[in-house]
Every structure is written in C-alpha cells, then in structure tokens.
C-alpha cells in the first residue's frame, strides 16, 4: 500500500508542475466549437428564413450552424442542419448536391436517438436517388426509414415512397398492393390531402395496366381536391385525366390539360407547367402548337438558369464556409505552434527530471517493500515450522518419554522381557526424534530429489501400514521449480504424518499424475476417517491447506467416520 500512495502523490506533483510551466509560458488553448446555445441561435435564424422561403439565407445559416457544431457531443443539431440543407437543395432540383450533403449525416445517425431526424435523412436520400434514376438505392433508403421506430404517419409515408419507387420501375402490381392497403387505413383517410394523393397513384397504376378502374380513383381524388381548393394538387389530377383521355377523347384530354396548366401557372410550379405544356404540344396544332412550343422553350431556358444559379449559390456557400474554416484553423494552428515552441524545451526538461525522480523513488520503494515482504514471509515460515515441530515434540516424544519413565520405575528391569520392552520403547522414541529432525533439514531439490522423496515416503511403511505408490516415476521432476518440489515434499509428508497419528489405516495409496501443466496427487487410505465438520483448526490438514493455497494449488477432501479418508491435490508446474 505504501508505494501506491507515494506514486499517487508523485503523479499529482508531476501534473501540477507541468500545468504551472504551461501557465508561465502562456500556452494558447483554442476553443473547439461554439456552444450549443450559439448553434441553436444560428439554427433559429435559419429556420426563420426557411419558413419565409428565403432559401439562400436559410442554407447559409444552416451551413454556418453545422460548421460550428460538434457532431460528437451535439449530434442531433448537426443532423438537423444537414437534412435541412439537403432538403433545400432537393427542392431546387440540385439532387446530386443534396445527396452529397445528406451523406455527411450518415456516419452520425447511429449516435442519434432521434428517430424522426433519421427518418428525414433516409427519406431525402431516397427522393434524391429517385430523381437520379437510382431506384435500388432509393428503395434501400425508404426501407431503412420504414424500419425506424416512428409514428404511424411516417410509417405510411415510407410505404407510399416505396410504392413510388415501384411505379418508377414500372412494377405497377407491386405498387398497387401497397397503395390499396394504404387507402384502407383510417388514419390516412382522415387526412384528405394525403388520401387524395394515394388515390391519384392508384389511378395511375390502373391506367398503366389499362384497367378502367383508374377513372373512378381519379374522379374520387378530384372531388376531394376540389373541396380542399388546392390548386397545385388539382393541377396534378387534371394532368392524370388529360393523360387518361388522350387516346379515347382528345378534346376532353385537351380540356383537362389546359385546366392543369392553369392551376400550375397560379401556383408557379414551373416544372409541372413544362410537363403540361409538353402534353399540350402533343395535342395542339397550328397557332396553338407554335405558341405552346415557344412558351415551352422560354420556360425551359428560365428554369435551367434559375436552377443553375441556385446550384452555384449553394456550392459557393459551402465552399466559402469551408475555406474560411480552414483559414481560421490554419491561423490558430500557427499561433499554437509558435507559442508551444517557446515552452517545449523547458517542458521536456521538466518532464525528464520528474520521470528520472519518479523512477528512482519507485525503484527504492519497491526494493525495500520486496525485501520487507520476503523477511516477513521467512519469519512466518520459520514460526510455523518451529510451532509444528514443538507440537510434535510435545504430543509424541514427551508422552512416550513419560510412559517409558513410568514403566522403568514400576517394572522389574532385571527381567529380560521387561528390559527388552524398555529398549524397544527407547528405540521408538529415538526413531521419532530422527523423523522430526528430518522435517527441519533442508530438502534436496536437485537430481536426487526423487530418491529423497521415495526415502521419506518409505519411512512411513510399517508391517501394520502398507503403502502403495503409483505414477511417481512418470513425473518430469527435473522440469519443476524448486519451490514447488519443496511444497510437494512437505505436503506428502504432512499427509503421511497425519495418517500415522490419527487414521489407523492398514492401506495407503498415493497416486501421482501430470497433465495440463499440473501435478495431481490423490491420497486414499482405509482408516477410521473423520467428520469434516469437526476438523480442528490447528491439525495437520490445516497446515496442508495453507501450504497448497500459498502455492496457488487446490485441494479437495472426502471423508466420513469409519469410511476412510481421501484427499485430491493439484499443483501448477510453475
């Protein structure tokens, strides 16, 4: 814990030092973008001009708001500006420019939670693709809009747009399938203006399929639009009727064509006027043909000039804004570069000194910390070892010596049998003291380790306790680290000592296995077993568990009273 605290203090010191050096040199930190409030003000201005149909001014302020908007933390405003700009370009028939603009919003749609903004972007993109005759991309865009979680009205509009693509592709049956289902929707029927448009499209599909049902849908649409008194929409239905009667009743067709042209003239729909004029030219002759043709050419030239100016204006606005932004960034970058150059050398020196200081302090602290920890572990290990040996001396040797003394005091040692029994007892005490002394002796972990391990295990083999070994020679002992060899040695020793003291087993089986960079030791005896819920904390098993835990191994014990004892141990090889 001590090194971590000191490192935290040093980090704080280093940060403050660098910050203060930057303050002294007066390093310039530029503002990234304008605040959201300022961006919203620009958007409000753009919305005002857009509502007033001053599209050039609206486009300028939307573009300015977009440039000053950070899409990373103000995604919705950024997308809002883009789709409005794209919408203005689309309405001015600049479909390529509109599509290039709307593509700027695509990388940020996934970051926005506003489904309506996403719907608008995909819808504008789809309408651009329709006018660019790229029907596959248009269909893809409208289907993406349909999959968004929006209100029912937008769902219906998306389906209508998909039907429009099928009409452009001359897939009239597929378009009819969608349009007829839309015409039955109550929500759509409650919107007369939109409902009449659906009826027009259904009538057009039937007209192209040469089905006479087209006239009934046109007539129903005309009745609705007449009540609404929408000149632009009336002009569209009159045009459809002019097309419908073009072959069967040219006079009636000409009548509807003139009505359509009149309505489009009132609303100043130049593109639709041109389309109607083209139909009038087909049905006109002599003086009317000449007059309509001259008017068509004049309108065409006027439209081309207006649209070209609009395209050039929008392109110029975007170019000038981009150029201005690049120049501002260049100036700011140069200023930063000049000011940073003055402070760079001093900052480098300070950083170098601090890094060297931190490294030295860290190395010193780490050295003393590791040394202290090693000493504590050594003291702890010595304490456990001495405690274990002391307990054995008390529990085993002291009791045996006491019984030998009592036997010598109360028994006639002149009798050969008693004398022999006393000598046997003393020999047992000597043997046990030798075993205890071996536990304290250092373990040979070199090439003779296997011999030492076998000798230690064989010392527990007695006429009353038979001990079987499996797989001991199959282990690659030379590839195992010394510390793990000691852990294995001591663990097996603890198990056998515990068996000798408590289990009264007549058969012990030790199985060694090596797999998956682990050594497993399975111990089984047929002794009296133990109740695992009543294990004494300070017994030999507790020492075994501590040793295995320290070696990052695992242990599992299975036992019940009078049913033997099993231990499953696993050590990592390294």
- The answer on pLDDT for 434 being more than 60 is no
d(CA 242, CA 254): 6
Which backbone phi and psi does 28 adopt, to 5 degrees? -85, 125
Cβ burial of 175 (10 Å; 0-12, 13-18, 19+) is: buried
Q: What is the mean pLDDT of residues 115-121?
A: 92
Q: Is 102 in contact with 86 (CB distance < 8 Å)?
A: yes
| pLDDT of amino acid 2 | 47
In which band, very low, low, confident or very high, does the pLDDT at 27 lie, cut at 50, 70 and 90? very low
DSSP-derived secondary structure for 548-559: HHHTT-EEEEEE
Of 435 and 445, which is predicted with more confidence?
445
d(CA 328, CA 334): 10
Tokens representing 22 are 């930057």
Q: Convert the pLDDT of each residue in 126-174 to its tens digit.
A: 999 999 999 999 999 999 999 999 999 899 999 999 999 999 999 999 9
Tokens representing 470 are 């499996």
Beta bridge mates, 369: none
Query: How remote is the C-alpha of 118 from its chain's centroid?
Result: 22
Looking at every residue in the chain, the average pLDDT score rounds to: 80
Of 116 and 268, which is predicted with more confidence?
116
Radius of gyration of the chain (CA): 48
d(CA 276, CA 431): 122
Q: What is the mean pLDDT of residues 86-101?
A: 88
d(CA 20, CA 14): 10
d(CA 250, CA 256): 10
What is the three-class DSSP state of 459?
coil
What is the three-class DSSP state of 468?
strand
| pLDDT of amino acid 23 | 47
Q: What is the mean pLDDT of residues 357-386?
A: 77
Q: Is 557 in contact with 501 (CB distance < 8 Å)?
A: no
Of 299 and 376, which is predicted with more confidence?
376
Is the C-alpha dihedral spanning 445, 446, 449, 451 positive or negative?
negative
d(CA 253, CA 476): 102
Q: Convert the pLDDT of each residue in 224-261 to its tens digit.
A: 988 888 888 888 888 888 888 888 888 888 888 888 87
| pLDDT of amino acid 525 | 93
d(CA 353, CA 37): 44
Give the 3-state secondary structure of 212-275.
Answer: CHHHHHHHHHHHHHHHHCCHHHHHHHHHHHHHHCCCCCHHHHHHHHHHHHHHHHHHCCHHHHHH
d(CA 65, CA 45): 10
Q: Give me the CATH code for the 443-572 domain, please.
A: 3.30.565.10
Of 261 and 34, which is predicted with more confidence?
261
Q: Give me the CATH code for the 31-169 domain, please.
A: 1.25.40.10
Segment holding 365, helix H or strand E: helix 286-392
Q: Is 539 in contact with 565 (CB distance < 8 Å)?
A: no
Q: What is the mean pLDDT of residues 462-466?
A: 83
Query: How remote is the C-alpha of 87 from its chain's centroid?
Result: 34
| pLDDT of amino acid 126 | 93
Q: Is 557 in contact with 567 (CB distance < 8 Å)?
A: yes
Percent of the chain surpassing pLDDT 70: 73
Q: Convert the pLDDT of each residue in 485-540 to its tens digit.
A: 888 888 888 888 888 878 888 999 999 999 888 899 999 999 888 877 776 544 56
């Amino acid at each position: 814990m001590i090194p971590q605290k000191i490192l935290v203090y040093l980090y704080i010191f280093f940060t403050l030092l660098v910050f203060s050096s930057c303050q002294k040199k007066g390093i310039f930190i530029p503002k990234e973008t304008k605040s959201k409030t300022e961006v919203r003000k620009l958007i409000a201005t753009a919305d005002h001009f857009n509502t007033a149909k001053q599209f050039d001014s609206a486009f300028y302020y939307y573009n300015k708001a977009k440039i000053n908007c950070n899409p990373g933390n103000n995604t919705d405003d950024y997308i809002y500006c883009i789709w409005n700009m794209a919408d203005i370009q689309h309405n001015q028939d600049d479909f390529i420019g509109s599509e290039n603009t709307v593509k700027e919003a695509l990388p940020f749609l996934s970051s926005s939670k506003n489904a309506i903004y996403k719907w608008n972007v995909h819808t504008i993109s789809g309408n651009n693709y329709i006018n660019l005759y790229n029907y596959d991309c248009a269909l893809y865009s409208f289907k993406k809009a349909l999959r968004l979680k929006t209100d029912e009205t937008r769902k219906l509009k998306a389906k209508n747009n998909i039907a429009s693509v099928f009409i452009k592709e001359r897939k009239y049956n597929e378009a009819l399938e969608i349009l007829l289902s839309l015409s039955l929707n109550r929500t759509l029927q409650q919107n007369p203006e939109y409902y009449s448009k659906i009826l027009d499209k259904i009538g057009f599909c039937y007209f192209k399929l040469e089905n006479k049902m087209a006239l009934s849908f046109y007539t129903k649409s005309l009745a609705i639009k007449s009540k609404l008194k929408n000149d632009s929409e009336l002009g569209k239905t009159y045009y459809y009727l002019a097309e419908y009667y073009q072959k069967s009743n040219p006079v009636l067709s000409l009548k509807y064509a003139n009505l359509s042209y009149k309505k489009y003239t009132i609303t100043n729909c130049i593109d639709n006027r041109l389309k109607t004029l083209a139909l009038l030219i087909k049905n006109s002759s002599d003086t009317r043909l000449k007059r309509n043709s001259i008017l068509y050419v004049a309108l065409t030239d006027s439209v081309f000039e207006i649209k070209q100016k609009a395209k050039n204006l929008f392109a110029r606005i975007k170019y000038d804004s981009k150029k201005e932004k690049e120049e501002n960034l260049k100036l700011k970058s140069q200023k930063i570069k000049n000011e940073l150059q003055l402070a760079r050398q001093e900052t480098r020196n300070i950083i170098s000194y601090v890094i060297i200081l931190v490294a030295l302090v860290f190395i010193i602290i780490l050295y003393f910390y590791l040394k202290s920890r090693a000493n504590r572990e050594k003291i702890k290990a010595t304490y456990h070892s001495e405690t274990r040996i002391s307990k054995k001396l008390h529990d085993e040797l002291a009791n045996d010596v006491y019984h030998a003394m009592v036997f010598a005091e109360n028994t006639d040692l002149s009798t050969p049998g008693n004398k022999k029994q006393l000598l046997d007892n003393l020999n047992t005490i000597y043997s046990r003291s030798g075993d205890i002394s071996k536990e304290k002796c250092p373990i040979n972990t070199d090439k003779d380790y296997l011999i030492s391990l076998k000798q230690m295990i064989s010392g527990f083999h007695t006429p009353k306790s038979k001990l079987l070994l499996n797989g001991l020679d199959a282990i690659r002992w030379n590839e195992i680290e010394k510390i793990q060899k000691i852990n294995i040695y001591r663990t097996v020793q603890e198990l056998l000592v515990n068996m000798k003291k408590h289990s009264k087993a007549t058969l012990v089986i030790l199985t060694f296995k090596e797999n998956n960079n682990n050594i497993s030791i399975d111990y089984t005896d047929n002794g009296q077993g133990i109740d695992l819920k009543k294990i004494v904390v300070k017994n030999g098993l507790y020492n075994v568990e501590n040793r295995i835990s320290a070696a990052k191994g695992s242990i599992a014990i299975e036992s019940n009273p009078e049913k033997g004892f099993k231990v499953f141990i696993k050590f990592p090889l390294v």
